[in-house]
Amino acid sequence: MRNKYHNKKTKNKLIKHKMTTSDWRKILKQIENKPAIKARFLKYCKPKDRKFGISVKKCVRCGRCGAHISKYNLHLCRQCFKEIAEQIGFRKYI
């Protein structure tokens, strides 16, 4: 019997059962033109839709889940916010 952490091989691609959302989207893009493999992948490997928790809030720029700033409807991670803060009108106080 295989446990849920066991790797599964699909068409020369090694897919882990525990995958991030970005990994899932990348793989789905790669198998877009192969309907049989895509249907099987969507049936068995698609992560469930989240309604609450850390993975609901994602950075709109890079897709990171951690260190999310949602104040003022920014929806950016702290790294992306630091890079573009002055462009969107925030000033740095010393």
2 inside domain: no
26 inside domain: yes
Q: How far is CA 59 from the centre of its chain?
A: 10
pLDDT digits over 52-82, tens only? 887 788 888 888 888 889 899 999 999 999 9
61 and 86 together in one domain: yes
Say which residue the tokens 């992306």 belong to: 80
d(CA 78, CA 75): 10
Pairing mode, if any, of strands 76-77 and 68-69? antiparallel
Contact in structure between 50 and 24 (CB atoms under 8 Å) = no
64 inside domain: yes
Q: Give this prediction's pTM.
A: 0.52
The CATH number of the domain holding residue 89 is 4.10.830.10
